[in-house]
Amino acid sequence: MYEYVKALHIIFIVTWFSGMFYIVRLFIYNTEASQKSEPEKSILNKQFTIMIRRLWFGITWPSAILTLIFGGWMLYLFGSVPAWLAIKIAFVAGLYLYHLSLHNIFMQQMKSVFKYSSTQLRLWNEVATIFLIAIVMLVEVKQA
C-alpha cells in the first residue's frame, strides 16, 4: 500500500511544481502585456487571465491538495518522523507559504493589479527551484 501512496504523492508533486513554475511564467507574460498599448493589451490580458485561472484552479491547487493528502497518508503509514523527515516537512511548509504567495499574486492579477515587475517575478520563480532542490536532496540523501 505504501508504494502506491508514494507513487501518487510523487505524481502530484510533479504536477504541483509544473503548475507553480508555469503560473509564474504566465504572471510574467500578463505583466508584460499590461504595459502594451490598446487593443493589444486588452486582448492579451483577457487571454492570459483565462489561462492563469484554468492553470491555478484546474491543476496547481488540486495538485497541492492531493500532494498534502498523499504526503500525510505516507507519514501515517511510515509511523515515525526521523530528523531528515522533520526538516523536509519544514521545507514543505515553506513551499506551501510560497504557494500562498503565488495565490496572492494570482488574486492581484485577476483584478489587473501588477505590483511586481517581470524581473521580480522571474526571481521569485527561482524560489520554487530552491525548495525543489532542498526537498529532493533531503529525501534522497537523508543521513549522508
- Three-state helix/strand/coil letters over 45-56: HHHHHHHHHHHH
pLDDT value of position 142: 79
CB-count exposure of residue 51 (10 Å: 0-12, 13-18, 19+)? middle
CA atoms within 13 A on the CB side of 8: 14
What pLDDT digit, counting tens, does each position of 33-77 carry? Answer: 999 999 999 999 999 999 999 999 999 999 999 999 999 999 999
Identify the band that residue 79 occupies on the pLDDT scale cut at 50, 70 and 90: confident
Cα(11)–Cα(63) distance, rounded to whole angstroms?
Answer: 9
Q: Kind and range of the H or E element at 138?
A: helix 118-141
What pLDDT digit, counting tens, does each position of 82-136 carry? Answer: 889 999 999 999 999 999 999 999 999 999 999 999 999 999 999 999 999 999 9
